[in-house]
Amino acid sequence: MNLASALRSAAADRLYPAVILHGGTEEARRQAAVDLARTLLCIHALSRPCAQGGEVCRNCRRICWPGETDLFHPDFAVLERNLKTSTSVAATRELLKRAQLSPFEARGQVFIIANAETLTGEAANSLLKILEEPPDSAPRNFMLLAPSSHDLLPTLRSRSMAIFLGAAEEIDREATARIGQQFAERVTGYAATGAAVYLLSAAEALEAAGDFKDPRSGRPWATAAAAVVHAIETEAVPPVVRRRLLGLAQALLGAPAMRLRAVGAQRILEGLVCRHLTAPRSQAV
């Protein structure tokens, strides 16, 4: 789902109770969370949120990112991690306690977890418990902000609607086309011969997508994914392979999370290429 349709759902009170805001820059994720919260809690019935111009309602005015102004809304809470630490169990429980109360002023409550990728297992579980409870009379919305939805536990992902805010950085189109062309040639070689050496050299082509040394940088992965998408559009690649490349491109976007678990970039690239392009005999390429 993209942000525009999420905002439409929020304006119609149909937004999924738990959403993941991922992709984009940290700034973009915060702004999207504030926009969604205003849309959910704005006092107006039509054209929510009203903050876009004219008279601004008391809810929209006071819903803003903590620290940016002194304004405060009792039904809007943001949990941020302390510098360089995880989002702790204690802080998460404190936030979730407020979710047991009725809204103070607005028609519902909005809770934001700013660095959801740092939720500890225990903290994530307390959150899950709240998400599993049947909603009471007032709606409660949770927003989990993370660079990639793959940074979150699968249990949290399965209970949330992911809203993708787009690639974090501008991608070098020329490099993408060049790498995509090389990758396409090697994949086509594999499709024609079935020789595994083509898969390894296809993975090697993707290694040129950038400097993979920074484990937190999603950029080389996004470039590699874009190169694979470029290969899909290459005519020489057989249709059955194209379908698999789509899965590979998606997996590459989630790969930075694997890097955080200290697996080398080269191994991840080889593993993903092999996993997505080799398949049971019944659907052999």
CB of 7 to Zn ion, least distance (A): 13
How many Cα atoms occupy the beta-carbon half-sphere of 71 within 13 Å?
Answer: 12
Q: CB-hemisphere CA count at 13 Å for 61?
A: 5
Q: How many residues bind Zn ion (CB under 5 A)?
A: 5
Task: Choose one: 4-12, 51-59, 79-87, 226-234; the region binding Zn ion (CB under 5 A).
Answer: 51-59
Site for Zn ion in 63-122 (CB under 5 A): none
**Residues 5, 19: contact at Cβ < 8 Å?**
no
Closest distance of CB 244 from Zn ion, Å: 47
Are 106 and 59 in contact, with CB atoms under 8 Å apart? Answer: yes
Instruction: Indicate the residue among 22 and 62 with the shorter CB distance to Zn ion.
Output: 62
- Binding flag, residue 57, Zn ion (CB under 5 A): yes
Identify which of residues 40 and 277 has a Cβ nearer to Zn ion in the complex: 40
Find the part of the chain contacting Zn ion (CB under 5 A) among 45-53, 159-167, 237-245, 274-282. Answer: 45-53
H or E element: which one contains 95? helix 89-98
34 binds Zn ion (CB under 5 A): no
Q: CA 285: distance to chain centroid?
A: 31
- Smallest separation (angstroms) from Zn ion to the CB of 133: 28
209 vs 178, 194, 245, 263, CA distance in Å? 10, 25, 16, 18
User: 153 Cβ partners below 8 Å, 6+ apart?
Assistant: 119, 121, 124
Rounded to whole angstroms, how far apart are CA atoms 21 and 37?
12
The answer to whether 40 contacts Zn ion (rule: CB under 5 A) is no
Shorter beta-carbon distance to Zn ion: residue 45 or 83: 45
Among 19, 32, 36, 42, binds Zn ion (CB under 5 A): 42
Q: Which of 10, 50, 114, 163 binds Zn ion (CB under 5 A)?
A: 50
Query: Of the candidates 11, 60, 162, 245, which one interacts with Zn ion according to CB under 5 A?
Result: 60
What Cα–Cα distance (Å) separates residue 89 from each residue in 21, 34, 85, 120? 21, 24, 12, 7
Task: Specify the residue, 73 or 259, whose C-beta has the smaller distance to Zn ion.
Answer: 73
* CB nearer Zn ion, residue 53 or residue 280: 53
Q: Which stretch binds Zn ion (CB under 5 A): 10-18, 38-46, 164-172, 260-268?
A: 38-46
Tokens of 107: 């028609």
By C-beta, is 40 or 269 nearer to Zn ion?
40
Q: How far is the CB of 61 from Zn ion (least distance, A)?
A: 8
Residues of this chain that bind Zn ion (CB under 5 A) = 42, 49-50, 57, 60
